[in-house]
């Protein structure tokens, strides 16, 4: 069985406060997108985890491995071989690893003919990471807590969250814990998340990300990259803790940018009973100078 493992962007991202447990209280509008990995599942003689990207650890530090363990701690799962076809860049803020974990839980449950409820899958997901539960939403969700409390957004107008754009990924990444650690919550603009949510039912949606300040301090190269992107797109916002940006409303045909990979994407929705899939695999990538040289 082969499943599509999606990623996400944060249409807005508000950091409210630092909690006593070390996490931050956040409010964010998450959107699933069709920048994807694939995960393959089959019963096997022993548990195996393999990946097309040799730089990625396939041991107990991998969220797929952890998802299989947590699933087995609750349900009688025979040995399984899981193979990851990796395309989503790591340390990008696209939630690729979280999407892998959610897809693993969903896939293992399908192998066991739906033994677990979606609520159980979502709870297991929330234990694995703050972003995992989101992938059990409808594809657009208002997320609170540390990100694990999800409310699927059912837009009054179906087209509101059907859009496409470009993901711009610099060659370097950023560590999520570091970006949060460097966030000075009291210095952030006091934007009202509910107003931000409502703005998506109007002609002027409010796109922003509170983590940009911290990420730009840690990686000042991001400032120039955003400026360059703003010459081609009306909207350019970092997703999650970065370093990828989502770019909407190009002024004209999109041109390659040095040392940046530009990847087209479309927003995704999920039917309640099924998993994510895309009608058209988006494989065309505009590669900048550094990538072409490799």
- The residue (of 56 and 111) whose beta carbon lies closer to ligand C5P is 56
- The residue (of 131 and 210) whose beta carbon lies closer to ligand C5P is 131
Residues that bind ligand C5P (CB under 6 A): 22-24, 26, 129-131, 146-147, 176-177, 180
What DSSP character marks residue 92? S
Are 35 and 100 spatial neighbours (Cβ–Cβ below 8 Å)? no
| Cα gap 265→246, rounded to integer Å | 9
Are 166 and 246 spatial neighbours (Cβ–Cβ below 8 Å)? yes
Q: Where are the beta strands (DSSP E) in 92-148?
A: 140-144
Give me the helices (H) in 142-191, please. Answer: 176-181
Q: Is 258 a catalytic residue?
A: no
Q: Is 131 a catalytic residue?
A: yes
Residue 30 beta carbon to ligand C5P: minimum distance, rounded to whole angstroms: 12
Residue 270 beta carbon to ligand C5P: minimum distance, rounded to whole angstroms: 21
- The residue (of 10 and 130) whose beta carbon lies closer to ligand C5P is 130
Secondary structure class of 198 (helix, strand, coil): helix
Are 234 and 251 spatial neighbours (Cβ–Cβ below 8 Å)? yes
Check 86, 131, 169, 210 and give the catalytic one: 131
Residue 155 beta carbon to ligand C5P: minimum distance, rounded to whole angstroms: 25
- DSSP characters over 17-76: EE-TTS-EEEEEEEEEEEEEEEEEEEE-SS-EEEES-TTS--STTSHHHHHHHHHHHHS-
Residue 141 beta carbon to ligand C5P: minimum distance, rounded to whole angstroms: 15
- The residue (of 177 and 187) whose beta carbon lies closer to ligand C5P is 177
- The residue (of 89 and 129) whose beta carbon lies closer to ligand C5P is 129
| Cα gap 101→211, rounded to integer Å | 24
Residue 128 beta carbon to ligand C5P: minimum distance, rounded to whole angstroms: 8
By annotation, the residues acting in catalysis are: 8, 131
């Amino acid at each position: 069985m082969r499943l599509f493992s999606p990623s996400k962007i944060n249409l807005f991202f508000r950091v409210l406060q630092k909690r006593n447990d070390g996490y931050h209280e956040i409010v964010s509008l998450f959107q699933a997108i069709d920048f994807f990995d694939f995960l393959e599942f089959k019963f096997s003689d022993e548990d195996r985890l393999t990946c097309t990207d040799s730089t990625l650890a396939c041991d107990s530090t991998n969220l797929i491995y952890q998802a299989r363990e947590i699933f087995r701690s609750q349900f009688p799962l025979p040995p399984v071989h899981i193979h990851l076809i990796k395309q989503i860049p790591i340390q990008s803020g696209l939630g690729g690893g979280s999407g892998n974990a959610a897809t693993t839980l969903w896939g293992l449950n399908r192998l066991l003919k739906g033994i677990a409820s979606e609520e159980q899958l979502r709870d297991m997901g929330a234990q694995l990471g703050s972003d995992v539960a989101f992938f059990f939403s409808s594809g657009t969700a208002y997320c609170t807590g540390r990100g694990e409390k999800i409310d699927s957004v059912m837009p009054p107008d179906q087209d509101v969250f059907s859009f496409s754009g470009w993901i711009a990924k610099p060659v370097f990444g950023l560590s999520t814990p570091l970006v949060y650690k460097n966030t000075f919550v009291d210095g952030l603009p006091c934007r009202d998340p509910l107003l931000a949510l409502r703005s998506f039912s109007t002609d002027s949606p409010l796109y922003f990300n509170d983590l940009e300040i911290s990420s730009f301090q840690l990686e000042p190269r991001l400032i120039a990259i955003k400026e360059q992107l703003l010459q081609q797109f009306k909207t350019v916002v970092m997703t999650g803790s970065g370093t990828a940006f989502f770019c909407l409303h190009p002024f004209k045909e999109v041109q390659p940018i040095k040392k940046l990979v530009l990847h087209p994407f479309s927003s995704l929705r999920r039917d309640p009973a099924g998993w994510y899939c895309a009608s058209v695999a988006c494989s065309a990538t505009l590669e900048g100078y550094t990538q072409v040289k490799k």
